[in-house]
Amino acid sequence: MPSHGEQKLVTISVNSVDHQVPHAKISYDAIVDFAYPGGSTGGAAYIVKYSRGSSDNESGTLPRGDEVMVKDGMRFRVSPTGES
């Protein structure tokens, strides 16, 4: 059992690269930064799609400024939109 203040880590895949993150909500900006380091601070827009999420939110698109609860084995695909 984890001690108080210690968060369980889960593995997520962002553009086929695995990352260890706390089992908590993750933001659009954090996912974009995994795929394109520094990408969330620029003016570029990205489409963030996810799959293998929790049963009540298994797949979908994560809009800019939003967040989603991560689950072990969850997959994210980040693509530039060509817009800013």
Give pLDDT tens digits for 8-64: 999 999 999 999 999 999 999 999 999 999 888 877 899 999 999 988 889 999 999
Q: Is 1 a domain residue?
A: no
Q: Is 52 a domain residue?
A: yes
Against a cut of 0.95, is the pTM above it?
no
Q: Which domain holds residue 45?
A: 9-80
pLDDT digits (tens, 9 = 90+) for 61-75: 999 999 999 999 999
Q: At CA 39, angle to CA 35 and CA 41, rounded to 5?
A: 145
DSSP state of 39: G
User: How many distinct structural domains can be found in the chain?
Assistant: 1
CATH number of the domain residue 72 falls in: 3.10.20
Query: Could you tell me the maximum CA-CA distance found in the chain, to the nearest angstrom?
Result: 46
Q: At CA 27, angle to CA 21 and CA 28, rounded to 5?
A: 120
